[in-house]
Amino acid sequence: MTTHNILQYLDPEGTPTQTLPQWCSSPDWLLRCYHYMVLARQFDTKAIALQRTGQMGTYASLLGSEAIDVSVGLSMSSEDVLVPYYRNHACQIIRGMPIDEAFLYWGGDERGNASAAMQKDFPNAVPIATQSLHACGVATAMKVRNQKRATITLIGDGGTSKGDFMEALNIAGVWQLPVVFIINNNQWAISVPRKIQTAATQLADKAVAAGIPGMQVDGNDVIAMREAVDSALQRAYEGKGPTLIEAVSYRLSDHTTADDATRYRSNDELKEAWEREPIKRLRNFMVLSQFWDENKEQALLQEINQLIQQAADDYLTRGIQPVESMFDYLYAELPDHLIEQRDWAIVRAMKGGSHYQEGE
Amino acid sequence: MTTHNILQYLDPEGTPTQTLPQWCSSPDWLLRCYHYMVLARQFDTKAIALQRTGQMGTYASLLGSEAIDVSVGLSMSSEDVLVPYYRNHACQIIRGMPIDEAFLYWGGDERGNASAAMQKDFPNAVPIATQSLHACGVATAMKVRNQKRATITLIGDGGTSKGDFMEALNIAGVWQLPVVFIINNNQWAISVPRKIQTAATQLADKAVAAGIPGMQVDGNDVIAMREAVDSALQRAYEGKGPTLIEAVSYRLSDHTTADDATRYRSNDELKEAWEREPIKRLRNFMVLSQFWDENKEQALLQEINQLIQQAADDYLTRGIQPVESMFDYLYAELPDHLIEQRDWAIVRAMKGGSHYQEGE
Amino acid sequence: MTMKHSVCLLEAVNLALASEMRKDEDIVLLGEDIGVNGGVFRATANLRDEFGLKRVMDTPLAESMIAGLSIGMSTQGLKPIAEIQFMGFIFPALEHIICHAARMRNRTRGRLSCPLVIRAPFGGGIHAPEHHSESTEALLAHIPGLKVVIPSSPTRAYGLLLGAIRDPDPVIFLEPKRIYRSVHQEIEDNGEALPLGRCFTLREGKDITLVSWGAMITETLSAAELLSEQGIQCEVIDVASISPLDTETILASVRKTGRLVIIHEASKNLGLGAEIAATVAEKSLLDLQAPIARVAGYDTVMPYFRMENHFMPNTQDIIDSVNQTLEFV
Amino acid sequence: MTMKHSVCLLEAVNLALASEMRKDEDIVLLGEDIGVNGGVFRATANLRDEFGLKRVMDTPLAESMIAGLSIGMSTQGLKPIAEIQFMGFIFPALEHIICHAARMRNRTRGRLSCPLVIRAPFGGGIHAPEHHSESTEALLAHIPGLKVVIPSSPTRAYGLLLGAIRDPDPVIFLEPKRIYRSVHQEIEDNGEALPLGRCFTLREGKDITLVSWGAMITETLSAAELLSEQGIQCEVIDVASISPLDTETILASVRKTGRLVIIHEASKNLGLGAEIAATVAEKSLLDLQAPIARVAGYDTVMPYFRMENHFMPNTQDIIDSVNQTLEFV
Ligand SMILES: Cc1ncc(C[n+]2csc(CCOP(=O)(O)OP(=O)(O)O)c2C)c(N)n1
Ligand SMILES: Cc1ncc(C[n+]2csc(CCOP(=O)(O)OP(=O)(O)O)c2C)c(N)n1
Ligand SMILES: [Mg+2]
Ligand SMILES: [Mg+2]
């Protein structure tokens, strides 16, 4: 068995546990990071509120994984490609997804994956672990074209048990692909705890099977996360191949709004996890470093509050897609046999039609 | 990266490289082992001859993996269950598959999987790596019932890249299943060399991802193989969970009779591999130990020659199955809609029918 | 004396599982989140408490694995009942289902077999995320060696699931999640199975035959009810076992009514409706007084939930199609 | 001036690949044993030598991976052409094909798309081991968002493969291995693609329509030839693109002949024949002078090769079915 020492710079109280990287002495990156983490959390709160009031669908909260999402989002260059799983809204927003369209996706509307600002980033992927292989395909395209770019893909702890994930690590190793795999080990896959997923000591050990480097990082510590992601990206840019990063976090929320985590995990465990949460940790450190104070905090909260509120309003006033959109993106060109169905769908949706809905 | 030292007792010339296990001082097991290895090779020769003369279908030779197959076959108890891949005919024969029915399978006849003597052993599996999961299911049944039994499953080096294999190692680790995984690392997956399958240093490293013990064994050395398999079985019987054994061998044949390995690998490599082959190694050791001599060799060759010839004759005189057998084993009971098709198949196969074949 | 329970379809599944597990020690359940959590829909609620860890197994996340394990277990005399959390996630399991579960008996000439059940909720209409709403039952129905069963009421869920569990061959049991909780029925937990491979005639009528299954039975029955007010008598057939298909019952009905409308939520192209229509066109062409109509989902991807209702046929569509078929001369 | 080549279907595939790879730098090939070995059937022979390691990639053994990689590459502007060694091994790739390749364009409202080709040899008749002889094309044809193409001659293999490669959407290209080497045709390597989504009428006739695809076209044409000696004129349609289906050509022919026999090697139940029959029964019922017949594989597992010929329809079966359909009054 291998054991990796977990990479950590800040303890849960935000106190450094070792010499910090040089860049920590300047507030720039840390402030941006904090900004997006707060944004992520407020997005989350709003999304849950929208869902609870029947204005959005089932939603996967990212509570507790803000440090992972934001550090990845900030470390990537716009030339890189993100292949997310379904819990990376913050990362997607940093990379350009309009906030209202992030809501739109969870509102059950394909346009949430459509923004041109997302460039070649992948859309949310519901079928677990498939994205790991897509990321390898993306990275292969970069490698074939001799580009100095990298692909980052995320996955949950549960997802690491599915064959696709291991197949992806393996091909990334053989072909030395410029790809970074990040496991958001939030300890739970819906109701299944980490220890029931695998007997591996660490999820980072999965890398050994593929002959690639793996490391475990404190996923509540943005400094550790940035260090890990930056160096993995660097390796990728330099043609040194893939890296696996296990980011240890905790799912502070229910699995989704359709879930009730009290059925299967203890309150104590949850309470304890809150002690380690990423936002407080960074805030404490920034206060300690005199980069931050209560006034700045209040101003930020208000700024972001407005941003989120505006995005939610935009989302809510967004009309439904025309019914024929069901057909118009299936193929580049509409095949003959769908013309009839498309026409029929339009007729059915019209006043007097079997599927007419008031107000659409 | 981990590194396991490869387990070896005999060098390619059959000279001990370390103190031998106690049981090696008696000829019993070694003679049985030799018997079956020679049988395996003669079976192989005959099978290829049958194929070349149009009397059998595409055949996967086991040339070079005799030590693996035979040591596994001899170490298992009849209570254990074998979940083979398509290159384990020798192991299947040791466990009771009639030799003529082994030919029959490669002759394109389902009865080759049917012998009651195979008990609960799985049939040959063509879809690669799926058997690894079946073995875990079998082992789960043993565990649920608190039985002191184990499951052994084999796979090729190529098969280790497929998700199912890693999913199998993983569940075996979590559930601590009484299962032994044996990789026949014969260096090639058709034309794909081992180094293109994975960047892992050893295939035994795959175990680390699942948190289970893995070891590399000289797959041309029956003594090492027996030691490894016995101790893995022992662990399984004692409830200590799964083991992964990478048996290092070499595919001395083409992939199958449909393949031509000269297209993709060098003669030198093949010649060198022959130096390490398992039968000569064991024979040398037995001669050295004075368990064996040329007279015995000749007697054995003749005995086995007769056995194989008889089996081939039996296979060749075996009539085709009745055409309705296509339907009779699909479900326990024939569903209504198949009655008509079954009747129709019988009519078509009769004289005057569209599918009548002379002499069937 | 057995107790009566007023249960919805979901609870009927739970009732059947508990009932049969008490009688047959060889039954084990496995799947993602089926244990402590009792399943994301609660189909296996409380079973872990009653039957323990060894019979109700939470698995790691891997559908290929769930199917593969089930095959291994079933060959050794256990009776695994696996849950695939949503039918949209069954694809990784298909290799095992198609290449092994469906073939083991045939491949070994009866030496080994795979008596197992794979349960999965399917179909749209609950405003779920992508991949939680598909109806790809036709893929499974095309595979020889499988049985595919779809209940459309609590009573049939209870009886058919018992039938599936006792069946000596692999059965895919698809649960129409849109009607998981919509209707309650009184069920006596008497352990009586319903036969597989048989349609159920839910309503007799002489004017036209309506054939459907799963959740669409609800709309089909509503349509029949509304049409009866106009004096049109529909015969409503619940296919229930979509494979093997009970063509006799359907053909007999078409012989009587001369008109056929097939209703399903799945895409029309190569949906099960195609096979039913083809069989009727082959065997009862002269009985037909009008073209066979299929009221089905479009041949496009099930949209995200905001538009899913536009995809799925509804009661009015069925009524329209029936009227059109009746008007044909 | 372009050269003429006398090639078999397999060589036509190779010719089309090489031809298009020379023109389009974005095309890459991947699959098991396609490189040095040139494919187990030699469909990619010599391409590694000509185009190098970066464009002809031998992969580790994992079909899910092959499909997943192809999806990733195609979204970034490469044009992957993946080989699945035998169609019997495509099942692990289905999740990627169904959930991603077929949906990427729709899911992202056109932002990303998956222009890729997945090639696989399929069908029985070459005395191959188990799982090397299936015909499960209907599974793929049921999936919206895919195109599924099957050539039946060297010429159509060349033209349709070019069409598939240039198509902006994912195309499954199934190669009937039974006729890989059976016929040679003169092909000019002129880079002219044949259109997808169109049937090919291989023979005109007024008495009856025969619809088939892939290897069975051989038997269908033989039957038509033999029947013509008895004065029966068969119209023979090669479906070629089984999805999207060109129903117009088929319907037009049936309107003319009034009789239809569909021939396929795949199991009858829910084979593509079902959809064709259902469509005709829906749209052209009154044109039919006889029931629609399907000459197809049985609804059982393709037997091991010693009996495979009993499973597959042959020329005589087609003749018998045509005669029966013609005798119907
Ligand atoms: C292939 C597949 N199987 C099952 C599901 C249903 N499902 C959605 S999320 C989830 C748990 C995932 O846990 P993990 O990978 O740890 O990610 P987390 O949600 O904790 O971030 C499951 C089983 C799915 N989406 N895809
Ligand atoms: C799922 C699947 N994909 C592809 C094949 C085709 N195939 C048969 S054997 C083989 C190579 C296997 O190599 P390896 O696992 O090393 O075993 P070996 O034959 O060398 O013993 C391939 C690709 C298959 N049988 N199953
Ligand atoms: Mg998790
Ligand atoms: Mg090998």
CATH number at residue C312: 3.40.50.920
Which ranges of chain A have pLDDT less than 50? Answer: 1
Average pLDDT value for residue range D62-90:
98
Contact B194/A at CB under 8 A: no
Answer whether D109's CB lies under 8 Å from A114's CB.
yes
Task: Tell me, yes or no, whether A102 lies in a domain.
Answer: yes
> Would you state the pLDDT for residue D132?
85
If phi > 0 it is left, if psi is from -120 to 50 it is alpha, else beta; for residue B290 that is: left
The residue assigned the tokens 């490599």 is B269
Q: How many domains does chain C have?
A: 2
Cis peptide before C244 (omega within 30 of 0): yes
Same domain, B329 and B291: no
Ligand nearest to the CA of C65: 1
CA of A63 to the centre of ligand 3 (A): 12
pLDDT for res D102: 98
Q: What is the dihedral of CA D49, D53, D56, D62, to 10 degrees?
A: 130
Last residue of a domain, one of C159, C188, C217: C188
| C329 shares contact with chain A (CB less than 8 Å) | no
- Strand intervals (E) in chain B: 81-83, 151-156, 179-185, 188-189, 192-193, 214-218, 243-248
Same domain as C296, residue C157: no
Quick one: pLDDT at residue C134?
Answer: 87
Residues A88 and A173 in one domain: yes
Centroid of ligand 1 to alpha carbon of C31 (angstroms): 12
Region class of B16: left (phi > 0), else alpha (psi between -120 and 50), else beta: beta
Backbone angles phi, psi at B183, to 5 degrees: -90, 120
CA distance A116 to D112: 10
| C107 touches B: beta carbon within 8 Å | yes
Q: Say if C219 falls within a structural domain.
A: yes
Would you call D91 and C88 a contact, using CB atoms and an 8 Å cutoff?
Answer: no
Q: Which residues line ligand 2 (CB under 6 A)?
A: B 87, 126-128, 156-159, 184, 186, 188-190, 251, 255; D 32, 61, 63, 85, 89
- Residues of D identified as active-site: 132
| C284 falls within a domain | yes
- Same-domain pairing of A264 and A248: yes
Nearest residue, CB atoms, A108 vs list C40, C305, C316 = C305
What distance in angstroms lies between residue B208's CA and the mean position of ligand 4's atoms?
Answer: 21
Q: Do C74 and C173 belong together in one domain?
A: yes
Residue in this structure with the two tokens 């979204």, named with its chain if needed: D75
Distance C48 CA to ligand 1 centre (A): 21
CATH number (domain holding residue B224): 3.40.50.970
What is the rounded average pLDDT of the residues C11-39? 98
| Distance (Å) of CA D271 to CA A61, A89, C144, C246 | 43, 42, 12, 17
DSSP state of D232: -
On whether both C153 and C282 belong to a single domain, the answer is: no
pLDDT at D154 over 70: yes
For ligand 2, atom 12, the nearest C-alpha belongs to B189
Residues B224 and B120 in one domain: yes
Task: Please report whether residue D194 resides in a domain.
Answer: no
Q: What pLDDT was estimated at residue C110?
A: 98
Write the CA distances from B344 to B155, C145, D16, D297, D310, integer angstroms.
Answer: 40, 19, 42, 12, 11
Residue A50 tokens, joined: 């929208």
Last residue of some domain: D188, D214, D240? D188
Probe target for ligand 2 pocket from D33, D59, D85, with the most ligand atoms within 8 Å of CB: D85
pLDDT class of D131 with cuts at 50, 70, 90: confident
Residue C112, classified by CB atoms within 10 Å of its CB into exposed (0-12), middle (13-18) or buried (19+), is buried
Query: Given this model, what pLDDT does residue A2 score?
Result: 53
Q: Do C129 and C23 lie in a common domain?
A: yes
Quick check: is C301 in a domain? yes
Please state the atom number of ligand 1 nearest to the C-alpha of residue A255: 19
Residues of A with CB under 8 A from a CB of C: 57-58, 86, 107-110, 126-129, 158-159, 161-164, 189-192, 196-198, 258-259, 263-264, 320-321, 323, 325-327, 330, 337-338, 341, 345, 348-349, 354-355, 357
The tokens describing B359, both together, are 């002499």
Q: What is the ipTM of this complex?
A: 0.98
* B231 and B185 assigned to the same domain: yes
Identify which of A163, A198, A320 has the shortest CB distance to residue C307: A320
Which of C188, C210, C232 is the C-terminal boundary of a domain? C188
Helix D216-229 / helix D315-327 crossing angle, nearest 10 deg: 50
Whether A74 is covered by a domain: the verdict is: yes
C194: in domain: no
Asked if residue B8 is part of any domain, the answer here is no
B130 shares its domain with B271: yes
Distance B352 CA to ligand 4 centre (A): 47
- Domain contains A17: no
Q: What's the pLDDT tens digit per position in C145-188?
A: 999 999 999 999 999 999 999 999 999 999 999 999 999 999 99
Contacts of A339 in chain C (CB under 8 A): none
Instruction: Note the pLDDT of residue B260.
Output: 96
Q: Which residues of chain B have pLDDT under 70?
A: 1-3, 360
Task: Identify the chains in contact with D, defined as 3+ C-beta pairs within 8 A.
Answer: A, B, C
Structural contact between residues A238 and A39, judged by C-beta atoms closer than 8 angstroms? no
* Predicted structure pTM score: 0.98
Residue B7 lies in a domain: no
Question: Which positions in chain D touch B128 (Cβ < 8 Å)?
Answer: 61, 89
Cβ atoms D140, D104 nearer than 8 A: no
Q: Cα dihedral angle (C243, C249, C251, C256), rounded to 10 degrees?
A: -160
d(CA A139, CA A134): 9
Q: Is residue D319 part of a domain?
A: yes
Bridging pattern class, strands C200-203 and C241-243: unpaired
Examine the fold and report which residue of B301, B316, B331 is the final residue of a domain before the chain moves on: B316
Instruction: Based on the fold, state whether residues D131 and D239 are members of the same structural domain.
Output: no
Q: Does A320 contact B at CB distance below 8 Å?
A: no
Whether omega for the bond prior to residue D244 falls within 30 degrees of 0, making it cis, is: yes
Residue D2 has pLDDT above 80, yes or no: no
Residues D235, D209 contacting (CB under 8 angstroms): yes
In a domain, B13, yes or no: no
A252 & A351 share domain: no
pLDDT over 80 (residue C117): yes
Query: How deeply is B230 buried, as exposed, middle or buried, from its count of CB atoms within 10 A (0-12, 13-18, 19+)?
Result: middle
Whether D156 and D299 map to the same domain: the answer is no
- The C-alpha atoms of residue A340 and residue D211 are separated, in whole angstroms, by 23
Rounded (10°) angle between helices B278-288 and B66-75: 70
Same domain as C180, residue C45:
yes
Is residue D218 a part of any domain in this protein? yes
> Which residues are B182's β-sheet partners?
B154, B245
Same domain? For A356 and A294 the reply is no
Q: Is A311 a pocket residue for ligand 1 (Cβ < 6 Å)?
A: no
A216 in the same domain as A331 = no
Residues C313 and C209 in one domain: yes
Tens-place pLDDT, residues D239-279: 999 999 999 999 999 999 999 999 999 999 999 999 999 99
Q: What percent of chain D is modeled with pLDDT above 90?
A: 95
State which residues form the domain around D172: 4-188
Question: Which ligand is closest to the CA of D60, given by its number?
Answer: 2
Domain that holds residue A233: 22-316
Asked if the structure places residue D35 within a domain, the reply is yes
C32 inside 8 A of chain A by CB: yes
Residues D100 and D172 in one domain: yes
Rounded Cα–Cα distance for residues B314 and B101 (Å) = 9
Which residue among C33, C298, C301 sits closest to A345, beta carbon to beta carbon? C298
What distance in Å separates residue D231's CA from the closest CA in chain A? 35
Gap between the Cα atoms of D96 and D87, Å rounded: 15
CATH number for D121:
3.40.50.970
Taking the centre of ligand 1 as the mean of its atom positions, its distance from the CA of residue D311, in whole angstroms, is 42
The mean per-residue pLDDT over the stretch C288-303 comes to: 97
| Calpha distance A309→A296 (Å, rounded) | 20
- Ligand 1 atom closest to residue C61's alpha carbon, by position in its atom list: 23
D116 and D204 housed in the same domain: no
pLDDT of the residue at C133: 85
In this structure, is residue B11 part of a structural domain? no
Please give the pLDDT value at position C4.
Answer: 87
Considering the domain architecture, whether residues A328 and A179 belong to the same structural domain is answered as no
Q: Do B57 and D60 touch (CB under 8 A)?
A: no
C294 vs D contacts (CB less than 8 Å): 278, 282
- Is residue B110 situated within a structural domain? yes
Q: How many domains does chain B have?
A: 2
Q: Are B128 and C63 in contact (CB under 8 A)?
A: no
Cα B137 to Cα B161, C71, C75, C79, D89: the distances in Å are 20, 7, 9, 11, 22
Across chain C, mean pLDDT equals: 97
